[in-house]
Structure 1
Amino acid sequence: MSVVLIAEDEEAMLEIFAQVVEDLGHRALRAHNGEEALLLARTEPPDLVVSDHMMPRRTGVELLRTLRTDPRLRTVPFLLLSAARPAGLEEADAFLAKPVDLDTFEHAVERVLRSRPAPEPREEAMPTGARAERSSGAVREEMLNWVAHEIKTPLSSARLNAQLLLRKQAERDFPDEKKCTETILRQLDRMNALVTSILDAARLSEGKVALRLERGDLTAFLQEVVRDWRELQPQVDFHLTGVEQRVGLSFDAERVRHILNNLISNAVKYGGESRRVEVALSLSPGLAVIQVRDWGVGIPASELPNIFDRFHRAEAASGLGHGLGLYIAAAIARLHGGSLSARSTLGEGSTFSLRLPLSGSGFRV
């Protein structure tokens, strides 16, 4: 049995994390802030620290860095949780974004417990210019992180409790109650998606998003994305073309996946009775072009110039969505030095075209 120290300032979250850890067969130590967590760790060195980031008296990253300076605690694995993506998260052994999925949390705890001790972090001086830039945007970034924490923490607590309830209902075979709980989970996921989109849109508009470019095979990446959608929506015919040869370029896989998931989700949602979505890869001079096409309701010509604006929803949307998905997707495309465009005919469907430079040079917006 391992000893797991859990640091979380929200009592409901602290208790449910502790319950999950104890259900896994480990002993949980509870801390309500960073300073209390540090005292407990020095009193009884744990086998794993699970910590929220935004806590009073010491943030999660500050707690991590203090533990790394203690000879007795520097090798203790650290699992960081946060509704935002704080600077320094890469120093932790693992990071989970709130709201946390129950299975994902359990797997992360077991995996990090089995992992090798984390290497000591390297201290790097921050350039003067970067320090000044951080100072100028620190207040706004702190506000965004506060909003993420204050909204996503209760969302995470509600979601974890609903998942635990769903497990118990499945064991007792209560189908009606199980259906209600599944509905609650879906609505919580919609709320989380909305909050995430609002925060992403704010950061993009402020130029606070930078890409993590890595060289990769766009063909293999597209095949993986479409394969995931085939598993998620088996009733839809996903047709993938243009992937006969490797296309190498530098791109942020997580961000491009976000764009494609948004486009494919819209194609499924507004695809009408055809239940067919085509994803096509082609090359033009200096560009890789990914097209997502459906044969659904289409978009009125008067709406097309505005569909990439913030909070804009076409009339055909019938109240679905929050009007941020295409805005965020277009901004991420521009970050890559590319673009996102659309053409559509009412009653005949829509085609969205994502263009990425083969040179792979990303930009800030």
Structure 2
Amino acid sequence: MSVVLIAEDEEAMLEIFAQVVEDLGHRALRAHNGEEALLLARTEPPDLVVSDHMMPRRTGVELLRTLRADARLKTVPFLLLSAARPQGLEEADVFLSKPVELDTFEEAVQKVLGTRPAPEPGQEAQSAGARADRSSGTVREEMLNWVAHEIKTPLSSARLNAQLLLRKLGERVSSDERKCTETILRQLDRMNTLVTSILDAARLAEGKVALRMERGDFTAFLHEVLQDWRELQPQVDFTLKETERQVELPFDAERVRYILNNLLSNAVKYGGEVRRVEVSFFLTPGLAVVQVRDWGVGIAASELPNVFERFHRADVAGGSGHGLGLYIAGALARLHGGSLGVQSTLGEGSTFSLRLPLSR
């Protein structure tokens, strides 16, 4: 049996995490703030620390750095949870974004307890640099993180409770009750997506988003994204027309995946009765071009100039988005030095084109 220290200022979340840890066969120590967590860790060194970031009396990252500076506790694995992406998150052994899936949390706890990695060389220097980065943060950035925490924490609590309820009821739950619970989970996911999009849009508008560019095989990456969609939407025919050779270019995989997921999601949502989405990938001088085409409702000519604006929502049946997806996608494309465009005819479908430079 391992000892897991859980630091979380929201009582409901603290009890859920503790229950999950105890159900896994471990002992949970509960702390309601960073100082209490530090005292417990020094009194009884844990085998794992699970901590929220935005807590009173010491944030999760501050708790992590204090533990790393203690000779007895510096090798204790640290699992950091946050609704935002705080400065210093890379110093944790594992970072999970709230709201977190029940299975994801369980797997992370089991995995970390099974491996106790030694601190990497240069960790102290990295921590010092991260502290300097944090000190230069703006008040607005802190406010955005606070908003994310205050909204996503109850969302995460509600979602984990719904998942636990489904698990405990098991086969005893009726189909109608299961359907209602799954509807609750879907609506909570929609709320989480909205909050995340608002934060992303704000950071993009203020130039707060930094890309993690790596040169890689874009052809293989595109195949991976499409395979995910084929598994997610088996009723839709996703076809790929591509260049016959491997194409390498610099890109941020996480951000480009967001762009493509947004385009593919819209193609499915507004594709009408033709359950088909065609993706083309080809090269033009200096550029790699990905086109996503559907044969659905299309976009009126009067709306085309506005589709990439914040909070613009297409006036079509089935339109249930929050009006930020294409704005964020377009901004991310420009950050890459590329662009995002659209051609569409009302009643005949739309083609969105993502252009990325082959070199920077």
User: Normalising to structure 2: TM-score of the pair?
Assistant: 0.96
After TM superposition, the structure 1 stretch with the greater mean CA deviation from structure 2, 332-341 or 318-327, is 318-327
TM-superposed deviation, 1:62: 0.4
Secondary structure of the structure 2 residue equivalent to 1:273:
coil
Please give the secondary structure, in 2, of the residue aligned with 1:356: strand
Equivalences for 1:137-156 in 2 at 5 Å? 137-156=137-156
- Runs of 4+ residues deviating >3 angstroms: 124-127
Structure 2 partner of 1:2 = 2
Per-residue Cα deviation, 1:264-292 (whole angstroms, up to 9, x for no partner): 00000000001000111100111110111
Residue aligned with 2:138, SS: helix
Cα separation, 2, equivalents of 1:28 and 1:65:
22
Contact 1:264-1:292 within 8 A present in 2 as well: yes
Which amino acid letter does the alignment assign opposite residue 258 of structure 1? Y
2:274 corresponds to? 274
1:28 paired residue number:
28
Alignment partner of 2:323: what SS? coil
How big is the shift at 1:174?
2.1
Following the alignment from structure 2 to structure 1, what is the Cα–Cα distance between the partners of residues 348 and 135?
Answer: 48
For residue 166 of structure 1, what is the aligned residue in structure 2? 166
Q: How many residues matched?
A: 356
Offset from partner CA, 1:59-96 (integer Å, 9 cap, x none): 00000000001111000000000000001000000000
Aligned-partner residue type, residue 216 of structure 1: G
Q: Give 2:14's aligned residue.
A: 14
Q: Measure, in 2, the Cα distance between the counterparts of 1:260 and 1:323.
A: 16
Kept in 2, the 8 Å contact 1:79–1:93? The answer is: yes
CA distance in 2, matches of 1:134, 1:77: 25
My pick for the range that moved more, 229-238 or 163-172, is 163-172
Distance (Å, rounded) in 1 between the aligned partners of 2:168 and 2:316: 40
Does residue 279 of structure 2 align to residue 310 of structure 1?
A: no
> Is 1:71 equivalent to 2:71 in the alignment?
yes
Deviation at 1:243, TM superposition (A): 4.8
- Alignment CA distance shift 1:317-1:208 (3 Å): farther
Structure 2 SS opposite 1:241: strand
8 Å contact 2:270–2:318 — kept in the other structure? Answer: no
User: 1:38 is matched with which residue?
Assistant: 38
Distance in 1, matches of 2:65 and 2:9, equals 19
- The offset of 1:42, in angstroms, is 0.4
Asked if the contact 1:308–1:330 (Cα under 8 Å) also holds between the matched residues in 2, the reply is yes
Match of 1:241 in 2: 241
> How far is the alpha carbon of 1:317 from its aligned partner?
5.3
Query: What displacement does 1:169 show?
Result: 2.8
> Contact 1:93 / 1:118 at 8 angstroms: preserved in 2?
no
- What is the one-letter code of the residue matched to 1:122? E
Q: How does 1:1-365 map to 2 (within 5 A)?
A: 1-119=1-119, 121-124=123-126, 126=129, 135=136, 137-316=137-316, 318-359=318-359, 361=360
TM-fit CA distance, 1:320:
1.1
**What letter corresponds to residue 237 of structure 2 in structure 1?**
D
Deviation at 1:173, TM superposition (A): 4.1
C-alpha contact (below 8 Å) 1:170/1:178 kept by paired residues = no
Q: Distance in 2 between matches of 1:163 and 1:355?
A: 40
Q: Aligned Cα RMSD in Å?
A: 1.5
Deviation for aligned residue 1:215: 1.4
User: Secondary structure of the residue that 2:5 maps to in structure 1?
Assistant: strand
Deviation at 1:117, TM superposition (A): 2.4
Moved more, 318-327 or 179-188: 318-327
Gaps of 5+ in 1: none
1:303-340 Cα shifts (integer Å, max 9, x gaps): 00000000001212554101000000000001101100
SS of 2:316's partner is: helix
> What letter corresponds to residue 123 of structure 1 in structure 2?
A
Distance 1:37 1:277 in 2: 51
Output the amino acid matched with 2:188: L
Contact 1:289/1:354 (<8 A) preserved: yes
Give how far 1:234 is off: 0.3
Distance 2:218 2:25 in 1: 42
Maintained 8 Å contact 2:243/2:283: no
The code of the aligned residue for 2:357 comes to: P
- Report the Cα distance in structure 2 between the residues aligned to 1:260 and 1:352, rounded to whole angstroms: 10
Asked if 2 retains the 8 angstrom alpha-carbon contact of 1:225 and 1:257, the reply is: yes
Native 8 Å contact 1:279 1:291 kept in 2: yes
Secondary structure of the 1:162 match is helix
CA distance in 2: counterparts of 1:213 and 1:118, whole angstroms = 28
* Residue identity matched to 1:18: A
Amino acid at match of 2:250: S
Q: Is the 8 A contact 1:169 1:178 kept in 2?
A: no
Shift of 1:126: 4.9
